[in-house]
Amino acid sequence: MNKFSFVLALLLLSNPLQSCKKNPEKDPIDIKEAHNNLLKKNDSYVTVNRGKIFSQELDGFNATIDSLEQTVQRLVKKYERNSKEINSRIVDSLLTETKFVHKRYQLLYPNNYHRFANFKKNATVSKDYFENVMKGSFDNPYLVHFKHYKRCMNYYFDILSAGKYKFSHLEYVPLKRLDNRYDAIAELDAHQSVKDFFIKGHFTSNIWTYRVEAFDYAYSKALEDVKNQDFIKQIKKTYQMGKDRRNAASEIKAYKTVDGITLSAHIFYPENHDKTQPKPAHLFFNGGGWAIGLPEWSYGACQGAAKDGRVAIAFDYRKRNVYGTDVKASVSDALAAIAWVRENANELGIDPNKILADGFSAGAHLALVSSMIENPKDFGVTSKYSSKPNAIILGSCPYDIEGRDVYNVSYDTKTISPLYLIKDNLPPILAFHGENDDMVEFSEFEKFRDAIQKTKNNFIWRSYAGAGHFYFEGSRKEDSEERKRLTKEFIQKNGFNVE
């Protein structure tokens, strides 16, 4: 055991049961609570210290993870020794959950090692490292009842979906990972019940993350691959729900076709919309790291904008996990979307001089960078109509994405990085950011804020202490009210309010 692991073990062994009111060594209910609390404590420790833990070489990393696992095993064994009537099912359950929590840490190791090596070095592990970690995990259908088994297995499928990149950082893998993920489950040498369970989960979980067309390949295969007829029914129901939920939009129109991919605009008209009386347009680009996400995420915001009298449109755009594209393809789609709105302004009943682009996270990046690109033709957009919005609202925007795409990028990513594209005469911008954002660091926002404030641009911003990337979740009431007020004032001041 290395020094780091020894200190870790001492820390984790100190009062692991302190939070239980009764005696968890004898009470089955309290041993479950104590076990859950210790797993959370360990997980928090790994999260806080992930740089130190995952940057170790394999032997040191394994020693650390073994120390974590042993603290939990000791807790369970103590219950076994002290309980008058040992419930073997509870013991087996706790030990099973413990095992798969720590198997997941092992699965995470190569990915995070590469990340903390600044994408320049891969972990020194065997070619069958992941298979060895998960050996013996596929033949017992009862395991699908365990939370941490399911979490571990789902990450294993994510790894397999990365193909030749599976030992590297997984976030920016340029592959059609959603289809790859299905194949990884279907081709697994496993009990049929286990495969059926995870194929069903592939639909019921991911349908909230990807547009329904992204499942066409898997849907056609699942109807043959899955043997459990109840699961087949759930898959069919889920797939149909993915289509039916779009009924909330007033209409859906194709705005671009590229490489055989049709991209759609999901349009919400104000009540009794008279297209001869043009209204401002409020465009929404969803987040998701340019890899996941779907226009339906913006439906609530679209309905609110339409209620206020604006024509609201949520845009689909190419995502990495579905099409294997990079950020530049997503930027191309955003430019095309804004130009399409202007080109079809009469048909949509929109004032082409009142285009408000609104986005969160990766979607905010698309909304912002679209206002900064001088020549859309460099991105394959040939429309004679402008791709620049007239105003922009940003939430948790990535401002510096230089080098963020780490695989197969042959262009200078500064050309799509807002921090390097600041100039005068940008549209008015309203920006919100959490100061504890661990996805887009606050320092990144500060650099952009300080740079743009040296220009004559209209840039209004607010940041929120203690708030993370999803700053609006669990937000203080006064902060939420402030954002609503600032947004309303921004919309009104810039001519997007409908009288």
pLDDT in tens, 245-258: 999 999 999 999 99
pTM: 0.90
Percent of the chain whose pLDDT exceeds 90: 85
pLDDT attached to residue 361: 97
Please answer whether residues 130 and 124 qualify as being in contact, where contact means their C-beta atoms are separated by less than 8 angstroms: no
Residue type, 367: A
Question: How far is the C-alpha of 131 from the C-alpha of 153, rounded, in Å?
Answer: 12
Q: How confident is the model at residue 4 (pLDDT cuts 50, 70, 90)?
A: low
Has residue 229 got a pLDDT over 50? yes
65: alpha, beta or left, given left = phi > 0 and alpha = psi -120 to 50? alpha
In 382-431, where does DSSP find H-type helix?
none
What DSSP assignment string belongs to 80-93? HHH-SS--HHHHHH
Which tens digits make up the pLDDT trace of 417-426? 999 999 999 9
pLDDT attached to residue 26: 52
Has residue 102 got a pLDDT over 50? yes
Half-sphere exposure for 85 (CA within 13 Å, toward CB):
2
Q: How does the average pLDDT of the chain come out, rounded? A: 93
pLDDT attached to residue 21: 44
- Beta partners for residue 264, in sequence order: 254
* List of residues 6+ apart from 233 with CB closer than 8 A: none
CA angle 238, 242, 245 (to 5 degrees): 120
Domain 250-493 fold: Rossmann fold (3.40.50)
Angle, helix 28-48 to helix 88-116, in steps of 10 degrees: 0
pLDDT attached to residue 467: 93
Question: How far is the C-alpha of 53 from the C-alpha of 45, rounded, in Å?
Answer: 10
Q: How confident is the model at residue 14 (pLDDT cuts 50, 70, 90)?
A: very low
pLDDT attached to residue 122: 95
Which tens digits make up the pLDDT trace of 177-216? 999 999 999 999 999 999 999 999 999 999 999 999 999 9
Has residue 10 got a pLDDT over 90? no
Q: What's the longest Cα–Cα distance across the chain?
A: 81
**Region 226-253: what's the mean pLDDT?**
98
**Region 325-342: what's the mean pLDDT?**
97
Query: At CB < 8 A and 24+ separation, what contacts does 127-130 make?
Result: 129/167, 130/156, 130/159, 130/160, 130/166
Q: How confident is the model at residue 29 (pLDDT cuts 50, 70, 90)?
A: low
Q: Which of 103-107, 108-112, 451-455, 476-480 has the lowest mean pLDDT?
A: 476-480
**Residue 97 burial class via C-beta count within 10 angstroms: exposed 0-12, middle 13-18, buried 19 and up:** buried
Which tens digits make up the pLDDT trace of 439-498? 999 999 999 999 999 999 999 999 999 999 999 888 899 999 999 999 999 999 999 998
186: alpha, beta or left, given left = phi > 0 and alpha = psi -120 to 50? alpha
Neighbours of 121 (CB within 10 A): 10
**Region 326-354: what's the mean pLDDT?**
97
Residue whose entry in the numeric block shows the structure tokens 């922009």: 392
CA angle 220, 224, 227 (to 5 degrees): 135
Q: How confident is the model at residue 28 (pLDDT cuts 50, 70, 90)?
A: low
Neighbours of 377 (CB within 10 A): 11
Has residue 134 got a pLDDT over 60? yes
| DSSP code, position 312 | E
Has residue 148 got a pLDDT over 70? yes
Q: How confident is the model at residue 89 (pLDDT cuts 50, 70, 90)?
A: confident
Between the alpha carbon of residue 311 and those of residues 191, 271, 308, 368, the distances in Å are: 51, 10, 9, 20
183, two tokens: 């194949």
Has residue 164 got a pLDDT over 60? yes
351, two tokens: 């004032």
Instruction: Tell whether the torsion through CA atoms of 258, 259, 262 and 264 is positive or negative.
Output: negative
Question: How far is the C-alpha of 200 from the C-alpha of 205, rounded, in Å?
Answer: 9
Q: How confident is the model at residue 119 (pLDDT cuts 50, 70, 90)?
A: confident
Domain residue extents for the chain? 3-242, 250-493
pLDDT attached to residue 149: 98
